[in-house]
Every structure is written in C-alpha cells, then in structure tokens.
Amino acid sequence: MIDSFVRDDLRALLGDADPFARVFALEGEVFRAVANRRTLRFETGGRAYFAKIHRGVGWREILKNLLLLRPPVVSARNEFLACRHLERLGIRAPTVAAFGERGRNPARRESFIICDALEGFASLEDLAADWPAAPPAAADRRRLVMAVADFARRFHAAGLVHRDFYICHLLLDLEAWQAGRVELAVLDLHRARIFRRLPQRWRRRDLGALLFSTLDLPIARRSWYRFVRVYTGRPLREVFAREGRFWQRVERRALALYRKGLRKGLVTGSYQPGMPP
C-alpha cells in the first residue's frame, strides 16, 4: 500500500512513481534524529523546505503507548492531515509540499512529509529566552498573551489537539511584529489529532502544557487571567463559576509537568511549585 502526494515544485527532485528512495537520501541540516524519525532542512530550486522522515516504530513502541492509554504515532499522516486541516481554516501552519506513506503493518510503516519552511519566524520560546533578565514592555507582553490565547482558542475550536502544545512550537512572524501586528503559526504537528468535537481531557492537557512552558517567565497572574478571558470569550466571573474545576485541573497539570521538569533538569526552578501560576 503506497499513498503519496508531490507538489509540482518538487516533482523534479522526488519524481512521481515512488519518491521514497529519493526522500530517504535527502541531505541537509539535521534538526532531529532519533531511532525512527529524522527531521532536516534542505533547499532546492531557490526554496527552503523541512522534511520529516518516519521509519517503522516497532511493536514495542506501539504497545508502550497503548499501555499508557496514548494513541501511538506510526507515521507522518497525523501531521499531513493536521496541516491540511489548518490550511483550510486559515490557521497558519507549515504548508505541505509532499507526503508519502507505505506499509500495512503499523510497526514497520514508512512515511515522510515535506513542508515549506516558515521563514522569518521565531519561536516564542526563543523570543522569551531573555525575558527573565530583560522583561519586555508590558504592552508587548499583553499583546502576545492575548494573541496566544486567541490562537489557542481557534486551534481547539478547529477540533485539533496538539499533544505538545508548548511555546517552542508557536512561532511569531517577525516582520509583522515589527509592523505592530501579532501573527502566529504552529508547527511540529506529528502527534496532533483531529476530532469532530474536542474532548475536554485533550483540551485540558494542551492548555496545561502551554501554561507549564511559561512558568519560568516573568509573567504575572493577571496575564493568566487575561489568557483565560480571551480564550473563553467570556467574563472571568462567569468562566470560573461555570468551569472553575476545569481551569483548576489545567493548573494542576501544568504544576505536575513542572515538578517532572525539575526532576529531569528541564526547567530553571525559578518558579516554585505550590505558588499560583
């Protein structure tokens, strides 16, 4: 079973009949290389692209995820579907230039996705790296918080869950920012899932991950309240009266991730668990 799509600008590079051999031989700047997945940036025809190449994950990985009640990711199809879904809705994400998948056995399935590189963008994590030493102007921070809340609202309203919804996966258009606009994009959608109606459990996990990834930043409690107000589109009094338990669980999720990050040395420890985020 082979399913593939190649956009016209990549046909000369990949061919039509079976592009897998050419994709697997691509060379460029490698951003990630693990046992079953490789991500690299390459250029051809004066344009830049990112390729994600998935090899078979093996039954051990599949069973591990199933035992943890997590949907296993066995190919690039999740990302392909998520990027196409967001494009149809006008939500910025990488534009798919090529996709391929082959193999009926999920443990040995091979796949790839190639997307246009998002040039002129910076991740919010990189943008905020210097904030502890040099906090941004209050107005800039407020604009960013409100833009992230609106983006998260539209993303979830589209029925998507990211499953790695950290600020490192949210990108800011730097040219638009210099012109006074906040335009965001999302990437790394290989674990994303699309639902007709997004379950609260997945929404809560995404929002908890997003909050966790900001806890080391100099962001006051009122910014979190502003996020909640923009995300829900309702007054805080009404939100917390009707959905207080949901937002408490979002915060507990963020704190649990932070404690785990402390044990693994992934966070600075400047935020003290037990303090309100």
Q: Which residues are catalytic?
A: 164
Dihedral over alpha carbons 96, 177, 30, 267 (to 10 degrees): -120
The span from the CA of 217 to the CA of 212, in Å, is 10
Instruction: Report residue 99: phi and psi, to 5°.
Output: -155, 145
Which residues is 44 bridged to in the sheet? 47
Can you read off the two tokens belonging to residue 171? 């990108």
Cβ neighbours of residue 160 under 8 Å, at least 6 residues apart? 82, 85, 86, 192, 193, 194, 195, 198
Q: Which long-range contacts (CB under 8 A, 24 or more apart) does 222-229 make?
A: 223/141, 223/142, 223/145, 224/277, 226/142, 226/145, 226/146, 226/149, 227/145, 227/146, 227/148, 227/149, 228/149, 229/149
Instruction: Report residue 96: phi and psi, to 5°.
Output: -75, 130
